[in-house]
Amino acid sequence: MKTFAVEEVAQHNKPGDLWIIVDANVYDVSKFAQLHPGGVGVLTTKSVAGQDATQAFYGLHRAEVLQRPQYARLKIGQVQGQEPIIQASPSDNSQVPYAEPTWLSAGYYSPYYTESHRRFQKEVRKFFMEVVYPDAVKCEENGKRISQEVVDKLCENNILAMRLGKGKHLEGRTLMGGIIQPEEFDHFHELIINFELGRLGTRGYVDGLLAGNVIGLPPVLNFGSPEIKNKVVPEVLSGKKFICLAISEAFAGSDVSGLQTTAERDGDFWVINGTKKWITNGMFADYFTVACRTDGAYTVVLVPRSDEVETKAIKTAYSATAGTAYVTFDNARVPVQNTLGKVGNGMQVILSNFNHERWMIICTALSAQRRIVEECLKWSNQRVAFGKPLNAQAVIRSKLASMIARVEAGQNWLETITHQMNNMSYNEQSDKIAGTIALLKQFVTKTGRETAEDATQIFGGRGITATGMGKLVENFHRTSPYDAILGGAEDVMGDLGVRQAIRKMPKNARL
Ligand SMILES: Cc1cc2nc3c(=O)[nH]c(=O)nc-3n(C[C@H](O)[C@H](O)[C@H](O)COP(=O)(O)OP(=O)(O)OC[C@H]3O[C@@H](n4cnc5c(N)ncnc54)[C@H](O)[C@@H]3O)c2cc1C
Ligand code: HEM
């Protein structure tokens, strides 16, 4: 690495011969100045040209700008006797207070996580930052579905299988290159995957990263015939085929029982007719796990894509990378063997999915919320207004206090629930924690929207600008209402939790 004295850098201070220092690194911006999105003028001013422009730079750009290859190559060396101090690798855990959950903060303890989780988290963070993040940023912007290359790597590491939770489907699989054994895998490992996904700050892609598999495949795994399971599960978990869950309709959202799609028997076939709305990954799904009406009851049927199945994109406020679809079944014929569970037992199949889906949404929503807390702590520290950093203002610190308290409360509640999931049977979970999961989902989505509002104020104009400094805040502010609706609307969640508590009121309870 070439080194330069500060005095030498200072010689290069005019258009055509222009160097600057950012975080002890020397950049030759002589040619780049003409292309600079912020203009030439700002680079040739006296306080910047040939000078240490670190503070000015970080007041206006995200650190990742200098990591983009086209800008990284402007670096020609380092200042003699100085070392860069800005955290370089996005794969490292953040040192900013509250940016990581307590268990990942140096010097803190947790009763839930072991060495296995720590090892796993390091690998998963690295994988998500190096392999997934560049694809997430691209797809979030251009609306294309997740690239097959990333899907293949997710499958190589068995991340799609791990996202279904612990269980038999992990047997014999090599998890993250063998860093943990399938029998070690528990819901905290799964939480780690969801957290790394949520913190990418690209909400459309969070669903685009095959949320349809996470909610559409369990009914096949738990209720499909051996023939169906043996065919479909390996196809989906190897990333060769995609699946989605199709319950909601224009006629039925919160009130699932209002669904109108029908499955009628014709010999050994079901004939499916109807429409489904807001189906995540529906645009590129090969299989649809469809809730249907059959003779006054409900039955879930696995419907493969065919000419009788049409998918149309729904234009949502988040990125089309999620593949949200309006699905029409027009006399789609499906063998009766594709029934998932017993005929007429569809409501049980549908309900069996909800706790895990809601828990997953809580994980990704909470880690996205925490990422916003980190963004605000950093920004309010580096943005100078009225001659002081923003965090010198009591009103800003008060907003930060509320944000921190909200995310920490959600995290602690989530970890308690995850611990119960690790220790309870499926039936115990339905009985004891379905209501609590619903209440936590309501809490995390309500607090998420409060944090989105506070963060937007703290970031000012940048908080509503889709690129640059505030891009994560803008994405979160635009998309945090999603988690308050999909997987069960917020008010319905709160009501469900309280109704479950009321059912459990002891008969002898009196004031
Ligand atoms: C982006 C996106 C992706 C989705 N992905 C899928 C998917 O993959 N598969 C799938 O099947 N579905 C999916 N959904 C559908 C989702 O589950 C429903 O939108 C959700 O259940 C709410 O239904 P609804 O939108 O019809 O609202 P409605 O049921 O019409 O409710 C409207 C409002 O009324 C309130 N409300 C309704 N009933 C009550 C009540 N009893 N008490 C108090 N308040 C009430 C709700 O809080 C809600 O805010 C998705 C939705 C979105 C937006
Ligand atoms: C190697 C050095 C630099 C590179 C590679 C660079 C790159 C960029 C890029 C990519 C943008 C677009 C916004 C974004 O993506 O964040 C931008 C905007 C900008 N840059 Fe730079 N820049 C550099 C140095 C500087 C310096 C030293 C200043 C001095 C003040 C500056 C001032 C600005 C301004 C004012 C904007 C517009 C910001 C806004 O719209 O809010 N840049 N720069």
Nearest to residue 336, comparing CAs of 244, 261, 270? 270
The Cα-based distances of 55 to 71, 355, 461 in angstroms read 18, 47, 20
**Is residue 107 helix, strand or coil?**
coil
For atom 15 of ligand 2, the residue with the nearest CA is 468
What's the distance, CA 333 to chain centroid? 35
Name the closest ligand to CA 70. 2
Q: Report the pLDDT value the prediction gives residue 106, as an integer from 0 to 100.
A: 86
Q: Report the pLDDT value the prediction gives residue 296, as an integer from 0 to 100.
A: 87
Same domain, 423 and 446: yes
Range of the domain at 19: 3-79
Would the CB of 278 count as within 6 Å of ligand 1?
A: yes
Calpha distance 289→300 (Å, rounded): 7
Amino acid at 441: K
Q: φ, ψ for residue 345 (rounded to 5)?
A: -105, 20
**185-240 pLDDT, tens digit each:** 999 999 999 999 999 999 999 999 999 999 999 999 999 999 999 999 999 999 99
Would the CB of 57 count as within 6 Å of ligand 2?
A: yes
Alpha carbon of 272 to ligand 1 centroid (Å): 23
Same domain, 67 and 31: yes
Residue whose CB lies within 8 A of the most ligand 2 atoms, among 9, 21, 29, 36, for a mutation test = 36
Alpha carbon of 254 to ligand 1 centroid (Å): 5
For atom 22 of ligand 2, the residue with the nearest CA is 36
| Contact between residue 292 and residue 301 where contact means Cβ atoms under 8 Å apart | yes
Task: Give the domain CATH number at 245.
Answer: 2.40.110.10
Calpha distance 508→397 (Å, rounded): 47
What is the separation, in whole angstroms, between the first and last Cα of the chain? 75
Same domain, 425 and 460: yes
Would the CB of 291 count as within 6 Å of ligand 1?
A: no
Calpha distance 422→217 (Å, rounded): 21
Return the number of other C-beta atoms located less than 10 Å from residue 448's C-beta: 25
Q: Report the pLDDT value the prediction gives residue 86, as an integer from 0 to 100.
A: 87
Q: Report the pLDDT value the prediction gives residue 88, as an integer from 0 to 100.
A: 63
Name the closest ligand to CA 282. 1
Number of the ligand 2 atom closest to the C-alpha atom of 27 = 1
Would the CB of 63 count as within 6 Å of ligand 2?
A: no
- The residue out of 209, 226, 252 marking a domain boundary is 209
Name the closest ligand to CA 51. 2
Q: Report the pLDDT value the prediction gives residue 453, as an integer from 0 to 100.
A: 98
Residue whose CB lies within 8 A of the most ligand 2 atoms, among 22, 35, 60, 62, for a mutation test = 60
Task: Give the domain CATH number at 385.
Answer: 1.20.140.10
Would the CB of 488 count as within 6 Å of ligand 1?
A: yes
Q: Tell me, yes or no, whether 329 lies in a domain.
A: yes
In the chain, the number of structural domains is: 4
Output the six-digit token pair for 83.
């070392």
Q: Report the pLDDT value the prediction gives residue 91, as an integer from 0 to 100.
A: 81
Task: Give the domain CATH number at 16.
Answer: 3.10.120.10
Same domain, 389 and 418: yes
Would the CB of 489 count as within 6 Å of ligand 1?
A: yes
pLDDT tens for the chain, residues 1 to 511 = 899 999 999 999 999 999 999 999 999 999 999 999 999 999 999 999 999 999 999 989 998 899 899 999 999 999 999 999 987 677 889 999 999 999 999 889 999 999 999 999 999 999 999 999 999 999 999 999 999 999 999 999 999 999 999 999 999 999 999 999 999 999 999 999 999 999 999 999 999 999 999 999 999 999 999 999 999 999 999 999 999 999 999 999 999 999 999 999 999 999 999 999 999 999 999 999 999 999 889 999 999 999 999 999 999 999 999 999 999 999 999 999 999 999 999 999 999 889 999 999 999 999 999 999 999 999 999 999 999 999 999 999 999 999 999 999 999 999 999 999 999 998 899 999 999 999 999 999 999 999 999 999 999 999 999 999 999 999 999 999 999 999 999 999 999 999 999 999 999 999 9
Number of the ligand 1 atom closest to the C-alpha atom of 276 = 11
Same domain, 197 and 142: yes
Same domain, 16 and 156: no
Return the number of other C-beta atoms located less than 10 Å from residue 392's C-beta: 14
Q: Tell me, yes or no, whether 97 lies in a domain.
A: no
**23-78 pLDDT, tens digit each:** 999 999 999 999 999 999 999 999 999 999 999 999 899 988 998 999 999 999 99
